[in-house]
Amino acid sequence: MKNKILIVDDDVNICELLRLYLEKEGYDTIIANDGNDAVKSAIKENPDLILLDIMLPSLDGWQVCREIRKTLETPIIMITAKGEVFDKILGLELGADDYVTKPFDTKEVVARVKAVLRRSNDKQKKQIEEVKYDNLRINLTNYELEVCGKQIDTPPKELELIYHLASNPNRVYTRDQLLDEVWGFDYYGDSRTVDVHVKRLREKLENISGEWSLKTVWGVGYKFEVK
């Protein structure tokens, strides 16, 4: 699915130039020529990134940025003829992610778009704690265990344990390491607690895939083995 870029500038020539370069790079584009249209388009289209000029009719770029930030976390790159340090700082404080000053090199703008989108995608990946394997999805953000496309009711500690193991495939953990890293350093229970949780997980996960398995490493502990 293509990333969608909202271009906001009252100069139609600049909009067209940016549109041509961005679409050549494989992005979809939307254009708005004044502040009010920019806010409406951002809310309606929910773009992946906004290129935002400051000097706009109806609402200036700073006002647009404020309005958008009330509802969206969409990355914003400010594009303007204003190059003073104060303007850059204000734009960044209002929630802009980057700043380009006119006149600009279109290739540089495209490079900044790619960089900001990459940072945004990395941030989203970190926020969503999820691992996926064949017939298995473990989401720690929502505490969901999905097996063969069906959600399985799983106690929190079981889910945290399988997530921890699956996030570090083929790494062997001792029972004490798992108690420390999953249950916490302040846990004073018996290490057999790990064995009980692994046994319950095996009942849920056994024989659902030939590509991975929850393995016992005799005399050591456990690992999530990926073949």
The domain limits of the chain are 4-127, 130-226
CB-based contacts of 41, cutoff 8 Å, min separation 6: 6, 8, 30, 32, 47
Q: Nearest-CA neighbor of 61 among 24, 27, 101?
A: 101
- pTM, full prediction: 0.56
Burial class (CB in 10 A: 0-12, 13-18, 19+), 176: exposed
Q: In this predicted model, what pLDDT tens digit does every residue of 113-156 receive, in sequence order?
A: 998 888 877 766 666 688 999 999 999 888 999 999 999 989 88
pLDDT digits (tens, 9 = 90+) for 160-213: 999 999 999 999 999 989 988 888 755 555 678 899 999 999 999 988 999 999
Reading the block at residue 26, the tokens are 């494989």
Six token digits for residue 118: 């990459």
Q: Which of 1.25.40.10, 2.60.120.890, 1.10.3720.10, 1.10.10.10 is the CATH number of 130-226? A: 1.10.10.10
H/E stretch holding 150 reads strand 150-152
Task: With H, G, I as helix, E, B as strand and everything else as coil, classify residue 153.
Answer: coil
CATH 3.40.50.2300 given to domain 4-127: yes
pLDDT, tens digit, 9 for 90 and up, residues 24-41 = 999 999 999 999 999 999
- Please return the burial class of 95, using the count of CB atoms within 10 Å of its CB with bins 0-12, 13-18 and 19+: middle
